[in-house]
Structure 1
Amino acid sequence: MAGNSGKIRKSTSTRSLAQYHGKRRADRTPEPIGGGSPKGGRRRFVIQKHSATSLHYDFRLEAGGVLKSWAVPKGPSTDPRDRRLAMRTEDHPVDYLDFEGIIPPGEYGAGEVIVWDTGTYRNLAEDEGKKVPVAKGVGEGHVKVWLEGEKLHGGYALTRTGQDGERERWIMIKLSDEGADARRNPVSTEPASVRSGRTLDELPEDGEHRQRS
């Protein structure tokens, strides 16, 4: 039975990644092509700072065998008064949690990528006292999680607010808890990668960080 459920999860995640694969040429980009499997223990998250057509932060939550993803133009805030736009993007493979490098010119998402923050998270969303799985919450338009990252700590809520063409528009809000701090502005004061210590401008051109994880 357990083996069958594993096959079902793998099949579902494969279908979920069809859009991701359709946008990328595996022989041209250093990005992960997929195939990684979720590890045991607490689910992980990553926030990748991405200098593409415009600078933004990609927020990704491990759920349902993939990374549920949003592009946050201004990056996450630690001030509960801020409402940050978060545009839903295609699911990414779990391997993408560790990706840091340079996507070549001419490829989808071309530009520099660093792991701005990463860690584990726990699901806070409930309905009548029962946990709502994150993957289900994404489909229903509401996600609430507690992050334990190297830069970010505490609760965050994401709520779908509408549609821009084919893309879903969400709002990302910091919850009022011990991790809230209106005086902090980590996207400005802490620009470097938690993985390599490099900023976007410091990524090597020699391919050192351009290999798939």
Structure 2
Amino acid sequence: MSLNKYNQKRNFNSTAEPEGEIKKSSTELIFVVQKHAASHLHYDFRLEMNGVLKSWAIPKGPSMNPTDKRLAIMVEDHPYSYKDFEGTIPEGNYGAGNVIVWDNGTYSLADIDDVEDVENKLKSDLQEGHFSFILDGKKLKGEFALVKLKIKQKNAWLLIKKKDQYASDDDVLKQDKSILSNMTLESMEKKNG
């Protein structure tokens, strides 16, 4: 796991994004979903794994409906400290635009409790291109899967909600406020405009 690509893409003299450092949670593994109004609106889905946040950009955002299969483009690893990043990435910087923390929480695997065992299993499943996990967030809950597509674009995956008691056809994206600041992207733009 490396943060070289993350660090190379950013000028930390002009962006408030945190510099890349390997760091881990002390107990449970975390996840975060950031709503990001860059050149295109998307949601950044991040899972803590081996000291970094494995990251996927989801153009249509996550869904709680098992019939929705959401394209998820794997991007560079992000540092653990990015989990709390909210604000404006200035023009001229990679990913310029406003970012809010749309959801966060912890995640686990169904039959494994030890964090190290979970990370080893996930690393193996990631290489195989298919893994399932259980999210315990404020908005996203229950079992999900990430499945790698076998197409030319090697970083294309699908994020799929599994059928469980949390599955719903309600549009979870209508809950559009940050769980940290209670701001929407629109109110952040007005504030920073």
Task: Note if 1:154 corresponds to 2:139.
Answer: no
Task: Give the secondary structure class of the aligned counterpart of 1:69.
Answer: strand
> Which residue of structure 2 lines up, in the alignment, with residue 138 of structure 1?
126
Task: Give the secondary structure class of the aligned counterpart of 2:34.
Answer: strand
Q: 1:163 to 1:89 in 2, by over 3 A?
A: farther
Gaps of 5+ in 1: 1-12, 207-213
Q: TM-score, normalised by structure 2?
A: 0.90
> Which residue of structure 2 lines up, in the alignment, with residue 209 of structure 1?
none
1:26-45 equivalences in 2 (<5 Å): 26-35=12-21, 37-45=23-31
Q: 1:190 to 1:141 in 2, by over 3 A?
A: same
Measured after TM superposition, the shift of residue 41 of structure 1 is 1.0
Task: Tell me, in whole angstroms, the C-alpha distance in 1 between the residues paired with 2:152 and 2:59.
Answer: 15
Task: Tell me, in whole angstroms, the C-alpha distance in 2 between the residues paired with 1:125 and 1:162.
Answer: 28
> Which residue of structure 1 lines up, in the alignment, with residue 187 of structure 2?
202
Q: TM-score, normalised by structure 1?
A: 0.82
Deviations 1:24-83 (A, max 9, x none): 111111101023621211100000000011000000000011000000111111110111
1:3-152 equivalences in 2 (<5 Å): 13=1, 16-35=2-21, 37-124=23-110, 133-152=121-140
Task: Note if 1:191 corresponds to 2:179.
Answer: no
Measured after TM superposition, the shift of residue 135 of structure 1 is 2.6
Q: 1:29 to 1:41 in 2, by over 3 A?
A: same
Measured after TM superposition, the shift of residue 205 of structure 1 is 1.8
Task: Tell me, in whole angstroms, the C-alpha distance in 2 between the residues paired with 1:191 and 1:110.
Answer: 20
> Which residue of structure 1 lines up, in the alignment, with residue 159 of structure 2?
172
Task: Give the secondary structure class of the aligned counterpart of 2:82.
Answer: helix
Task: Give the secondary structure class of the aligned counterpart of 2:99.
Answer: strand
Size of the alignment, in residue pairs? 186
Which contiguous aligned blocks of 4+ residues in structure 1 show a shift greater than 4 angstroms? Answer: none
The percent of aligned pairs where both chains have the same amino acid is 45
